[in-house]
Amino acid sequence: MKRAVKQVAVSALLLLVLCLVCRFVFYRTYSTYYPYNAQPSDSPADFQVISEDPEIATGAVTEIRDGALKIVVTPGQAGETFLQITNAAGETMGYVPARVTRFRTVYNISIGGFSGDTVAMLASTVFWLLTGAIMLWNFFQSKGSSFYQYQTIWFIGFSLFALTTGFCLLEVSIRHMISPANNSMLYVYSSLSGASVRFMETTSIPFIIFASAMAVSNIVLLRHQRFRLQNVLGLLVSILLIAGVVLFFYFCSQDFSGSEQEYRIRSTLENTAATLFAYFECMLAASVICGLKAARHKPAQDKDFIVILGCWFRKDGSLPPLLKGRVDKALSFWHSQKEATGREACFVPSGGQGPDESMPEAEAMRQYLLSQDVPDHLIRPETASKNTLENMSFSKKIIRESSPDAKVVFSTTSYHVFRSGIWANLAGLPAEGIGSKTKWWYWPNAFMRETAGLLRKRWKQEILLLVVLLVWFGTLSMILG
C-alpha cells in the first residue's frame, strides 16, 4: 500500500512540475473566447480590445472561429480589470473580466479559465488515468499468499473509480481542445462535478439487479443456515441500496424552482450522494473480482501441507456435501501433485468439536481421508479451533513444528477462499487457497461480507479518502452549479 501511495504521490509531483514549466514557458498569455456571429467579411482587424487598466492586462482579437472571437490576453502587473470589445464601428460588444496574479497568471472570472488551463486539465486527466493504472498494476502484482489482503480489494476498487474519473476527464478535455469556444472551462468543471451522477445513471440497472440477486440469495441462505447477523447482511444492505437508488432518482426527477444558490445546494447534494454510491459500487465490484479470482486460482504443485477448513458434519460422522466438497478438493490437489511431481503433501484437517457434534470436525475429516486410502502418517488433525482464524493459527503451529519453511495450501468452499486467505495472513501463515464448488446463493452475500470487511478494516483511511472526494466534487458543484 505504501508503495502505491508513493507512486501516486511521485506522479502528482511530476505532473505538477510539468504544469508549472508549461505555464511559465509556453502559456505566458491567456486565450479566451467571446461569442460572436461572424460574417464572411469579418476579420480580426475589425475588432479592438480596450483595457480598463493597460498596466494590468491588454488584449487583442487574433482569430474568429466556432462562432466566437479568440482574444489573447497579455498580463502585466497584479490586479483586476475589464477588457472592452468593440467592433469596426466603435460599438461596444461586451466585456471580458480579467484578474492577474503576482505570478502573471490570468483568470477569466466569468468562465473559470486561466493561463495554462488546457495543460492543467490534461495533467489532471493523466493523473487519474495514471492513478488507476498504478492501482491496477499493484493489483496484478498481488500474487500467491499476498493476494489475500483487503488492500487487494482496494487496489482494484479504487482503480475502477480512478479510471472512470479519468475517462470522464479525457472526454471533456478532448471536447475543450477541439472546440474551446463551445466548451469553456466552466463546462469542464460542470462535467466533472456531475461525473458521479452520470456514472450512477449508467450503472444503476446492473447495480439494482445485483442487489436484488443478493437479497434473493440471502433469503435462500437463511433457509439453509441459522439466523446470524452475517447471514442477513446482504439482505439488509440490498434493501438499503435499492431504496437509496430509487429515492435518488426520484429526487433528481423532481422539478426544481428556486434561487441560484438553492440550485447549487441541490446539485451539491446530488453529486455528493452519487459519489458515495459510485465509490461503494466500485468497492463492491472489486470484492466480486477478488472473490472470483481467488476461487479460480490454481496454486503451484509444490506444497508440503494441505490445510482443510472444517464445518458442520452429520451426527453419524459422515460428511455433508459442503464439507465433503472441501475434503475432495484437497484430495484432488493431493493426487494431482503426486502424479505430476511425486511429492506427497501432509493433510491438516482443521476444526474443533461443537456443542452438538459427536467428535471434532478434524476427526470426521480424518476418517474420511482414511477411507480414501490416504496413509495415516500423512494426516495431522488440528482439533481445537472454533473459527477460521483459529483454524489458521493452530494449523500453523502444527506445520511449523514439522517444517518452518513449509509451503502450504488450504482448501475451503469457493466463496470462502479469499476471506480465508485474509485470516491466514492475519495468523502469519503464508498460504494459497483452493475452492470447492458451492451453491450459487452463497456468493452474493459473500461479496457483501468482503466489502464490509474492507470498510471495517480500513475505516479510517476510507473515511479520509471519501471526505477528500466529497469535498472535491461537492466544491465544484457548489461553486459552479
Q: What is the pLDDT of residue 362?
A: 93
Mean pLDDT of the chain: 86
More confident residue, 6 or 444: 6
Question: Could you give the angle at the alpha carbon of 66 between the alpha carbons of 63 and 71, nearest 5°?
Answer: 35
The fraction of the chain above a pLDDT of 90, given in percent, is 42
Torsional sign, CA 167, 169, 174, 175: positive
Q: What is the pLDDT of residue 59?
A: 93
Count Cβ atoms below 10 Å from residue 82 Cβ, excluding itself: 16
Q: Please state, in angstroms and rounded to a whole number, the distance separating the CA atoms of residues 170 and 165.
A: 9
SS3 107: strand
Interval 400-443: pLDDT, tens: 998 888 999 999 988 889 989 999 998 999 999 999 988 776 77
Query: CA dist 267 to 261, 264, 272, Å?
Result: 10, 5, 9
Interval 122-172: pLDDT, tens: 998 999 999 999 999 999 998 888 899 888 988 998 898 889 888 888 988
Helix (H) or strand (E) holding 98: strand 92-100
- pLDDT band, very low/low/confident/very high, at 105 (cuts 50, 70, 90): very high
On the question of pLDDT at 351 being above 60, the answer is yes
Q: Specify the pairing of strand 305-309 against strand 408-413.
A: parallel
**Mind listing the domains of the chain with CATH numbers?**
28-115 (2.60.40), 118-297+457-480 (no CATH)
Q: Please state, in angstroms and rounded to a whole number, the distance separating the CA atoms of residues 428 and 394.
A: 11
User: 150-178 and 185-193 helices cross at what angle (nearest 10)?
Assistant: 150
- pLDDT band, very low/low/confident/very high, at 77 (cuts 50, 70, 90): very high
Q: Please state, in angstroms and rounded to a whole number, the distance separating the CA atoms of residues 404 and 211.
A: 44
Q: What is the pLDDT of residue 100?
A: 94
Q: Which of 312, 364, 291, 301 is nearest to 335 (CA)?
A: 301
On the question of pLDDT at 478 being above 60, the answer is no
Q: Please state, in angstroms and rounded to a whole number, the distance separating the CA atoms of residues 437 and 79.
A: 70
Average pLDDT over residues 93-117: 90
Helix (H) or strand (E) holding 384: none
Q: What is the pLDDT of residue 357?
A: 75
Interval 31-68: pLDDT, tens: 999 888 888 888 998 999 999 999 999 999 999 988 89
Could you say which DSSP state residue 318 is in?
Answer: P
- pLDDT band, very low/low/confident/very high, at 455 (cuts 50, 70, 90): low
DSSP string, 224-246: HS---HHHHHHHHHHHHHHHHHH
* Cβ neighbours for 166, distance < 8 A, ≥ 6 positions apart: 125, 127, 128, 129, 131, 132
Torsional sign, CA 251, 253, 257, 263: positive
Q: Which three cell numbers stand for residue 367?
A: 476418517
Q: What is the pLDDT of residue 343?
A: 92
Q: Please state, in angstroms and rounded to a whole number, the distance separating the CA atoms of residues 210 and 186.
A: 36
Q: What is the pLDDT of residue 354?
A: 80
Average pLDDT over residues 253-270: 70
Q: What is the pLDDT of residue 143?
A: 87
Interval 182-232: pLDDT, tens: 888 877 777 777 777 777 777 888 888 888 887 887 787 777 666 666 667
End-to-end CA distance of the chain: 36
